[in-house]
Copies of this chain bind each other. A is one copy, B any other.
Amino acid sequence: MGNLRNTSQRRVILEELVKLKTHPTANELYEIVRKRIPKISLGTVYRNLELLAESGLIQKLDTAGTQKRFDGMVGDHYHVRCVKCGRVDDLDFPFLNSLNKSASLAGNYKIISHRLEFEGICPECRSQELDGKSYVDHERITG
């Protein structure tokens, strides 16, 4: 395969990432890996995430506007991002293979891929939002 050496740092980074259903940032993963390798450096995490993504073992998610996130699931799938707390979740949504073809016709680019990303409010933030609303209502009613 890739001529990547088997270092404990690289192994643990990969292990911890694939465990997670969240899509951590480099720094979030750094904090997790640090529990097993306290002296690991943040640069090592960045470098290995880059290398692992290049070799196809993980996925780099360039989600819009925010910092990079990483994904241990490599198959094609879409994501939804919470606009309140920033968390990113997988969506059980069929992959739209025909989009690239359609886009080729809509412009004069040679289309390679597409990225479909939803924005919304996650269940946790949604319930907080509802709590807030009812609190406000209560305030208004009871003056």
* A positions within 8 Å CB-CB of B: 62-66, 68, 78, 80, 82-83, 89-93, 99-100, 102-103, 106-123, 126
Contacts and interface: CB of A to CB of B under 8 A. Distances in A.
Contacts of A99: 116, 118
Contacts of A66: 62
A1 to B, nearest CB: 24
A112 B63 CA distance: 16
Contact of A119 (B91, B107, B111): B111
A91 B107 contact: yes
Nearest to A108: B123
Contacts of A78: 103
A28 to B, nearest CB: 18
Contact of A64 (B62, B89, B122): B62
Contacts of A68: 65
A103 to B, nearest CB: 5
Given A113-B119, A116-B114, A92 B107 contact: yes
Contacts of A113: 118-120
7 contacts: A62-B64, A91-B106, A91-B107, A99-B118, A109-B121, A109-B123, A115-B116
A97 to B, nearest CB: 13
A53 to B, nearest CB: 12
A141 to B, nearest CB: 25
